């Protein structure tokens, strides 16, 4: 009921009372009515007056009543600004503020504090965000696109320091398709930078590790998980296998990061250039012979190359420029064509007889044993260990009957204590030719062959030369 209508009702009531003053029958009834109206009138005057106002709603929910729309709009804006300050982001309120005409008794409109509290309670908002999308998949949402740029820089960082490789960084890029998309996000959807960095580093496959126990090695761990040692080494570039100790953590899976940092580095280095070898046939030489006519020398080139690395691992090397500093010199080799005679040394020795090794080469008490002794029965065949020229046959003191062959390649062999000599000095023998018979002549305690190998006149252990 409005002010005006109460007044007019009162006037009409007064007129009615005057009209009915003389009607005793109804007088009491009327007086009761007067009393009732008076009570109502007194009540009205006590709560002041009724005024026009607006019921304020956020979305579907009423948050208060105001006399002027401005009051609510100011609070609404203040709430928005406060949210922006709190979250340091551009806020978009999801629910419209709406007004509906109403009436209010005196001071019964909503005070500012309550209104603000109610608006905050009802408000839904989104922040302006930027999504980092890698190969079509959203990896994180950030309030600022600069944060994404920072993350990408952080990912590249470990691979852009090329000091250790003494190279010049020419290019850094990411292999994957990266998109930064503007999105409206709930504040709870905003990502943590560190978490996103870790997610990129760990990749899709979940990290799996093993804690080393006493007695374990990369090999035993590889057996345990049915993998290869090589794979474990690749998954643990920082682990030195020999230094592995109990309590150490070993990665079981090679991390496949979500991002691949591609670097192009220019390197300069000196390269050795191999020389070529030209072979010239020589009819005057045996086909087993070779002679260097001109010694070859290696050359040198200054090389500039681009090294392409994926997350630090070299995947390609492209030579950009190569300048020959020193040319290599071709080696010229003469190679014989003649078939060598059978009696020519082959360069290797065969076992000169059959029997058991009764005394090895080396110190034997006070004296040095200059050969090996092979014992068997008297008359056992003795063969030339390699082809050559017989340079001595005959009795030679403690050697007894002995043969000496010069293999004409720096080597000489001696066969001693023989019972029979079947070749004569000055003749040529071939490898494996029967040259004598085993005996026990000279300083000997039983039938055996004393066999010596000399290189340029110096005794060597025959055991090292017999094949």
Residue 216 binds to Zn ion (criterion: CB under 5 A): no
Task: Give the contacts of 424 (CB within 8 A, at least 6 positions apart).
Answer: 390, 393
Residue 373 binds to Zn ion (criterion: CB under 5 A): yes
Joined together, the tokens standing for residue 90 give: 């551009």
Task: Tell me how far, at minimum, the Cβ of 461 lies from Zn ion, in Å.
Answer: 13
State the Cα angle at 387 between 383 and 390, rounded to 5°: 80
Residue corresponding to tokens 């079947």: 422
Task: Tell me how far, at minimum, the Cβ of 419 lies from Zn ion, in Å.
Answer: 15
Q: How far apart are CA 56 and CA 389, in angstroms?
A: 126
Taking CB positions, which residue lies at the least distance from Zn ion? 450
Q: Which is nearer to Zn ion, 147 or 373 (CB)?
A: 373
Q: How far apart are CA 122 and CA 64, in angstroms?
A: 12
Calculate the alpha carbon distances from 378 to 167, 290, 374, 382, 436 in Å: 76, 42, 12, 11, 11
H or E segment to which residue 353 belongs: none
Q: Which is nearer to Zn ion, 141 or 382 (CB)?
A: 382
Task: Tell me how far, at minimum, the Cβ of 395 lies from Zn ion, in Å.
Answer: 16
Task: Tell me how far, at minimum, the Cβ of 222 lies from Zn ion, in Å.
Answer: 54
Q: Which is nearer to Zn ion, 371 or 387 (CB)?
A: 371
| Residue pair 83/119 in contact by the 8 Å Cβ criterion | no
Q: How far apart are CA 299 and CA 284, in angstroms?
A: 32
Q: How far apart are CA 306 and CA 160, in angstroms?
A: 15
Kindly compute the dihedral angle of the four CA atoms of residues 52, 97, 77, 104, in this order, to the nearest 10 degrees.
20
Residue 431 binds to Zn ion (criterion: CB under 5 A): no
Task: Tell me how far, at minimum, the Cβ of 371 lies from Zn ion, in Å.
Answer: 5
Instruction: Lay out the site mask for Zn ion across 330-369 (x = CB under 5 A, - = otherwise).
Output: ----------------------------------------
Task: Tell me how far, at minimum, the Cβ of 411 lies from Zn ion, in Å.
Answer: 19
Q: Which is nearer to Zn ion, 119 or 449 (CB)?
A: 449
Q: Which is nearer to Zn ion, 139 or 372 (CB)?
A: 372
Strand partners, 306: 266, 318
Q: What residue ranges in 75-148 does DSSP mark as E strands?
A: 91-93, 97-105, 125-134, 137-142
Task: Tell me how far, at minimum, the Cβ of 325 lies from Zn ion, in Å.
Answer: 59
Instruction: Lay out the site mask for Zn ion across 437-466 (x = CB under 5 A, - = otherwise).
Output: -------------x----------------
Q: Which is nearer to Zn ion, 265 or 373 (CB)?
A: 373
Q: How far apart are CA 120 and CA 112, in angstroms?
A: 12
3-state secondary structure of 61: strand
Stretch that binds Zn ion, among 74-82, 165-173, 257-265, 372-380 (CB under 5 A): 372-380
Q: Which is nearer to Zn ion, 224 or 368 (CB)?
A: 368
Task: Tell me how far, at minimum, the Cβ of 295 lies from Zn ion, in Å.
Answer: 43
| Residue pair 205/105 in contact by the 8 Å Cβ criterion | no
Q: Which is nearer to Zn ion, 407 or 450 (CB)?
A: 450
Within 29-48, which residues bind Zn ion (CB under 5 A)? Answer: none
Task: Tell me how far, at minimum, the Cβ of 442 lies from Zn ion, in Å.
Answer: 10
Cβ burial of 418 (10 Å; 0-12, 13-18, 19+) is buried
Joined together, the tokens standing for residue 309 give: 């690395």
Task: Tell me how far, at minimum, the Cβ of 432 lies from Zn ion, in Å.
Answer: 22
Q: Which is nearer to Zn ion, 118 or 353 (CB)?
A: 353
Q: Which is nearer to Zn ion, 260 or 359 (CB)?
A: 359
Instruction: Lay out the site mask for Zn ion across 271-300 (x = CB under 5 A, - = otherwise).
Output: ------------------------------
Q: Centre a 10 Å sphere on the Cβ of residue 74 and count the other Cβ atoms it contains.
A: 15
| Residue pair 426/404 in contact by the 8 Å Cβ criterion | no
Stretch that binds Zn ion, among 118-126, 193-201, 291-299, 373-381 (CB under 5 A): 373-381
Residue ranges binding Zn ion (CB under 5 A) = 373, 450
């Amino acid at each position: 009921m409005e002010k005006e209508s109460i007044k007019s009702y009162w006037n009409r009531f007064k007129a009615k009372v005057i009209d009915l003053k003389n009607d005793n029958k109804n007088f009491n009834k009327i007086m009761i009515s007067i009393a009732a109206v008076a009570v109502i009138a007194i009540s009205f005057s006590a709560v002041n007056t009724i005024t026009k106002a607006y019921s304020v709603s956020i979305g579907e929910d009423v948050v208060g009543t105001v006399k002027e729309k401005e009051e609510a709009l100011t609070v609404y804006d203040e709430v928005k600004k406060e949210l922006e300050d709190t979250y340091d982001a551009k806020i978009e309120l999801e629910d419209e503020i709406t007004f509906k005409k109403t009436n209010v008794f005196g001071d019964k409109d909503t005070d500012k504090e309550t209104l603000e509290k109610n608006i905050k309670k009802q408000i839904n908002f989104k922040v302006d965000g930027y999504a980092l999308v890698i190969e079509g998949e959203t990896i994180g949402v950030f309030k600022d696109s600069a944060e994404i740029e920072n993350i990408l820089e952080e990912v590249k960082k470990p691979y852009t320091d090329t000091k250790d490789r003494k190279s010049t960084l020419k290019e850094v890029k990411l292999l994957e398709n990266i998109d930064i998309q503007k999105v409206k996000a709930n504040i709870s959807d905003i990502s943590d930078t560190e978490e996103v960095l870790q997610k990129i580093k760990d990749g899709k496959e979940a990290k799996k590790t093993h804690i080393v126990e006493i007695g374990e090695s990369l090999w035993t761990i590889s057996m345990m998980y049915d993998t290869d040692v090589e794979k474990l080494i690749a998954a643990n570039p920082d682990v030195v296998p020999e230094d592995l100790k109990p309590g150490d953590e070993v990665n079981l899976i090679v991390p496949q990061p979500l991002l691949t940092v591609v670097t192009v580095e220019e390197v300069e280095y000196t390269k050795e250039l191999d020389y070529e070898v030209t072979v010239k046939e020589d009819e005057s030489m045996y086909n087993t012979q070779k002679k260097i006519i001109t010694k070859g020398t290696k050359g040198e080139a200054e090389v500039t190359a681009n090294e392409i690395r994926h997350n630090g691992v070299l995947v390609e090397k492209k030579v950009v420029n190569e300048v020959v500093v020193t040319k290599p010199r071709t080696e010229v080799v003469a190679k014989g064509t003649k078939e060598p005679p059978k009696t020519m040394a082959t360069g290797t020795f065969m076992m000169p007889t059959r029997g058991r090794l009764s005394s090895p080469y080396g110190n034997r008490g006070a004296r040095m044993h200059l050969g090996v002794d092979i014992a068997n029965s008297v008359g056992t065949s003795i063969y030339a260990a390699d082809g050559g020229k017989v340079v001595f046959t005959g009795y030679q003191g403690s050697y007894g009957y002995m043969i000496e062959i010069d293999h004409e390649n720096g080597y000489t062999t001696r066969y001693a204590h023989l019972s029979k000599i079947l070749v004569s000095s000055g003749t040529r023998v071939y490898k494996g030719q029967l040259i004598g018979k085993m005996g026990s002549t000279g300083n000997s305690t039983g039938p055996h062959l004393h066999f010596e190998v000399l290189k340029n006149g110096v005794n060597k252990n025959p055991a090292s030369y017999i094949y």
